[in-house]
């Protein structure tokens, strides 16, 4: 039996792999959406952008702070400790 790139078995195998990857992506997208709703961080408008009003996003990386990442700095606080103005260091 000679090898052929147009063999129906290769098309079937490729189709099975593509369907599996798409099904896995949809499964985890639904799972993540349900978990976000449980945590109370689901978007109310249905948008998948995930950026709020306070986020600064630069497509060029924001001057060395990362490549297109959110530029926020968070400081850990002890439980029950109020946030003081000196604890938040804006970028």
* Per-residue model confidence as pLDDT tens digits over 45-76: 555 555 555 555 556 655 554 444 454 555 56
Taking the C-alpha atoms of residue 20 and residue 13, their distance in angstroms, rounded to an integer, is 11
Q: Answer whether 42's CB lies under 8 Å from 33's CB.
A: yes
How does the average pLDDT of the chain come out, rounded? 73
Taking the C-alpha atoms of residue 27 and residue 35, their distance in angstroms, rounded to an integer, is 12
Tell which wins on pLDDT, 18 or 66: 18
Q: Kindly report whether the global pTM for this prediction surpasses the value 0.85.
A: no
DSSP, collapsed to helix, strand or coil, labels residue 69 as coil
pLDDT for residue 77 is more than 90: no
- Residue 43 CB contacts under 8 Å (≥ 6 apart), including other chains: 49, 50
Q: How many CB atoms lie within 10 A of CB 37?
A: 11
């Amino acid at each position: 039996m000679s090898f052929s790139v147009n063999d129906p078995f290769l098309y079937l195998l490729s189709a099975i792999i593509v369907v599996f990857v798409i099904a896995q992506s949809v499964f985890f997208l639904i799972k993540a959406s349900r978990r976000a709703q449980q945590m109370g961080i689901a978007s109310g408008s249905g948008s998948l952008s995930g950026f709020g009003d306070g986020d600064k996003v630069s497509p060029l990386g924001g001057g060395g702070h990362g490549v297109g990442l959110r530029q926020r700095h968070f400081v850990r606080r002890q439980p029950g400790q109020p946030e003081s103005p000196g604890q938040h260091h804006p970028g």
